Structure 1
Amino acid sequence: MTHPGDRHYTVELHASAERVPQIRRILAAHLRYWDLELHIPPVCRGVAELLTNVHRHIGPDARCVVELRWTGRHLTASVADEGPRLPKLLSAAGGGLSTVAALSDSWGTCGTPEGKVIWFTRRVEAARKSRLTARTPLRSVPDTKGQPTVPPPVPAEPLVEPVPEAAAGAAPEAASVSVA
């Protein structure tokens, strides 16, 4: 079920080792745009592990689809590929699915007519704004000459100005991109 506040991003690519850093940057940009900066490292690491598994087990020319979906309460990342074999969690340490499991609140796999999807979810209750808050000025403190020193006035607006969407190259609310 889709809610009005849902955010969605999908990208299709070939699972080459060279694409992983590019996809990490793209996902980080979308998470930053959605005000989910705290989730950038674990989500990008989890997706990188899944893409590396596609590259390793299916091949560098394997086509896959990376998807991010944020419902306002949960952030889900998934990688769909054409490989028919479902992966298994082999050990608690060693990368791959064990890393994905450690970085997420839940994860899973499911077969599809085209192959499979591996997904993981993180709880995200609300976006965190990273704005600085204005503070009231300190009282005047006399300096060594007995003259009062008054701190400069604090602006009423936040100290960090938001970047206009057009200038920031704002990401669309829902997008689909193909990376060849």
Structure 2
Amino acid sequence: MHVQAVCRYTLEVRATTERIPGIRRILAAHLRHWKLESQIAPVCRAVGELLGNVVRHVPGDKTCVVELRWTGRRLTVSVADRGRGLPRLTSCCPAKGGLAAVAVLSDSWGTCATETGKVIWFSRLVAQPGNVPRTAHGPRRTVPELMSRPLSEPSQEPDRPGAPAPEPAPAMGRTEARAASGAP
């Protein structure tokens, strides 16, 4: 069984017109790291639109959190800010920017109110899904480790109330798994 971890990156920043290009470069670097070069232009353009909306429409504190999530098949991006007003799609012309541009650059998008403001998100289904890079927080089990129990071990009875939990088999490292399978 292969378990995919979700790669996640968050960036808290005060949105200003001058900072938007730098934020886009940071996000582009993470997308490159995740081997999503084909997603850089549309994602950075859409994030630029959302951050521009924070600059133009959020009164007072313009601190926001930009988040990227990559599952190996879908990339979801969100921008959370402290503005109370939910945005509306006022134009269907993506050339004017704003949410119309985000809608054209994504497969799906939406917004929701939070206790402290709102979140606007969009997602893109990646045509050529890639592997999710392993992170320090993701699962690290490999197939040989999952199959490390001897085949002659008696089957375990289903869980019964009051029955002691079975002892897990010790996990083998990659070198031990290769030696057990006879691989060099």
Please classify the TM superposition score into its range, dividing by the shorter chain length: 0.5 to 0.7
Q: CA RMSD in A?
A: 1.8
Residue 105 in structure 1 maps to residue 107 in structure 2: yes
Structure 1 CA distance, aligned partners of 2:91 and 2:24? 25
Q: Distance in 1 between matches of 2:32 and 2:5?
A: 16
Give CA deviations for 1:8-31 in whole Å, capped at 9, x if unaligned: 000001011111001100000000
SS of residue in 2 equivalent to 1:8: strand
Is the CA contact (8 Å cut-off) linking 2:80 and 2:117 kept in structure 1?
A: yes
Gapped runs of 5+ residues in structure 1? 129-171, 175-180
What runs of 5+ residues in structure 2 fail to find an aligned partner?
A: 138-184
Higher relative contact order (CA 8 A, sep 6+): 1
Distance 1:173 1:120, change over 3 A: farther
Shift of 1:105: 0.2
- Runs of at least 4 residues off by over 6 Å: none
Higher helix share: 2
- How many pairs does the alignment contain? 129
**1:4: how far off?**
3.5
> Aligned pair in 2 of structure 1 residues 116, 98: CA closer, same or farther (>3 Å)?
same
CA deviations on 1:88-119 (whole Å, 9 max, x unpaired) are 00111121000000000000000000100000
- Secondary structure in structure 2 of the residue aligned to 1:12: strand
Is structure 2 residue 62 aligned with structure 1 residue 58?
Answer: no
Corresponding residue number in structure 1 for 2:46: 46
Report 1:1-180 matches (<5 A): 4-59=4-59, 61-93=61-93, 94-124=96-126, 125-127=128-130
Mapped partners of 1:23, 1:110: distance in 2: 23
Identity of aligned residues (%): 60
Q: Name the SS of the counterpart of 2:83 in structure 1.
A: coil
Residue 5 of structure 1: CA displacement?
2.5
Q: 8 Å contact 1:8–1:173 — kept in the other structure?
A: no
- Given that 2:73 and 2:130 are in contact with CA atoms closer than 8 Å, whether structure 1 keeps it comes out as no
TM-score, normalised on structure 2? Answer: 0.66
After superposition, what is the alpha-carbon deviation per residue over 1:56-104, rounded to whole angstroms, capped at 9, x for unaligned? 0014741100000011111001100000100000111121000000000
Superposition TM-score, scaled by structure 1 size: 0.68
